[in-house]
Each structure stands twice: as structure tokens, then as C-alpha cells.
Amino acid sequence: MSTPAVATSDKFEIGGRAFTSRLIIGTGKYRTFEEMKAAHRASGAEMVTVAVRRVPLDRSSESFLDHLDPSLAILPNTAGCYTAEEAIRTARLAREALGTDLIKLEVIGDQTTLFPDNEQTLEAARVLAREGFVVLPYFTDDLIMAKKLLDAGCPAVMPLAAPIGSGMGVQNPANLRIMRELGMRSLLCMPIEGRSGSLHYRTRGVHDLQSHGSQADCWRALPVLW
């Protein structure tokens, strides 16, 4: 039986809701629904990501949506979208079906690396923010793009820390550190999954950030578990 993790007492807020856990956990790649639920309990996470395009939102068939702990906040994402138009349409569908204004905005620019298309992401972010979404955009760690996304109305940005599946850990701590020093609220995208290498690289990346500031400041960068 899994043992729930103990959450930190330091809180942060997204979209008007306060969280104590600094981890966002995913719903993909589990072998069974029971395994997913056990992982969620053990993580202590309070928010879970949902790939909107990969689940039957009409509940026409059984999916992980039927097995989520109702206490978890759902963070829909637009994974699989390659244009701003696709992402906007997917976000609207998610809000209608899941009853949340939260959206992890992903607009992919390259099918092989899954690197984001920053320009299309910014275009979609502007539209969705105007429509009242709480937009958390996934983008490469470009400082100017981070500023533009925040100016567009995003409450925080989600810079990619390393190529997906690389197991390389944080590749550009300097940019992430500058974002923090400039007061940019960032949630650090550090994918953890079977093909991504050992957890050592993820924790090492967080340690690298900690070594350049206080622990409280470091955890403004949020590891994301996909």
C-alpha cells in the first residue's frame, strides 16, 4: 500500500486556489487505474494534468477520469495541438467538459522533439486569457517570450527545463534563475516518466536551483510530473 507524501507548509496560489504540494502529477503511461491512483496518493500532489485530446470527455467509455480522486484539481492540457487555433478549440472543450478555467497550454512546433512553438503559444495565450482562462503556457526558456506571455495575462509560465525523454535535468539554470530574479512566476517543466532517465536527474536539477537561492525561492519553480 502506498503511503501519502507529506506536503510542505509553504503555499502557493494558482487561479485563486491555494496549494501546499509543489508537484503536479500526470495521468498517462500507468499500467492500470489502480497503479495511477496509488501513485497519486503517494505523491501528495494536489493537481493532476489531463490530456484533453486523449480522453473521452463525454464519458462514453471508461477512462482515468473515472478513477481520479475528486479532491485533485484538474489541469487540462492541450497536448497534441500544433496550431494556436487547435489549442484554443481544445481549451474551450476542456472548460465545457471538465468545468475548470485552468489550462496548461501546449502548442507543439516539432513532432520529433515535442519542442513548443512559442509564437503559436503566445497567439493562443492572448485569446484564452481574454476569455477568462487561467493560462499556464509551456514554452522554451526564452526570457523575452516569458515576459510577453505574462504580459498577455498568464499568471505563470512553464519553461521547458530539458528535452522531453532526455533524462538530462535542468539544461539552462541561468535563464530560470533570471526569470526568478526578475519576479517572473514560473512552474518548471521537468518531465518524469519511464523513458526520461532516473529520478536522480530531476532531483539534481532542483538541487542546482536551490544552490543559487533560498529554498522558498527555488520552489517557485515547480517540478511537473507527466
C-beta of residue 206 within 8 angstroms of C-beta of residue 167 = no
Give me the DSSP letters along 115-155.
-B-HHHHHHHHHHHHHTT-EEEEEE-S-HHHHHHHHHTT-S
Q: From CA 96, how far away is CA 114, in angstroms rounded?
A: 27
104 is an active site residue: yes
Q: Write the CB contacts of 124 (distance below 8 Å, at least 6 apart in sequence).
A: 78, 84, 87, 88, 91, 105, 107
Q: From CA 214, how far away is CA 87, in angstroms rounded?
A: 36
Question: Given 11, 29, 37, 104, which residue is catalytic?
Answer: 104
Number of H helices, E strands in the chain: 7, 8
C-beta of residue 49 within 8 angstroms of C-beta of residue 75 = yes
C-beta of residue 153 within 8 angstroms of C-beta of residue 126 = yes
C-beta of residue 168 within 8 angstroms of C-beta of residue 191 = no
C-beta of residue 2 within 8 angstroms of C-beta of residue 41 = yes
Return the active site residues: 104
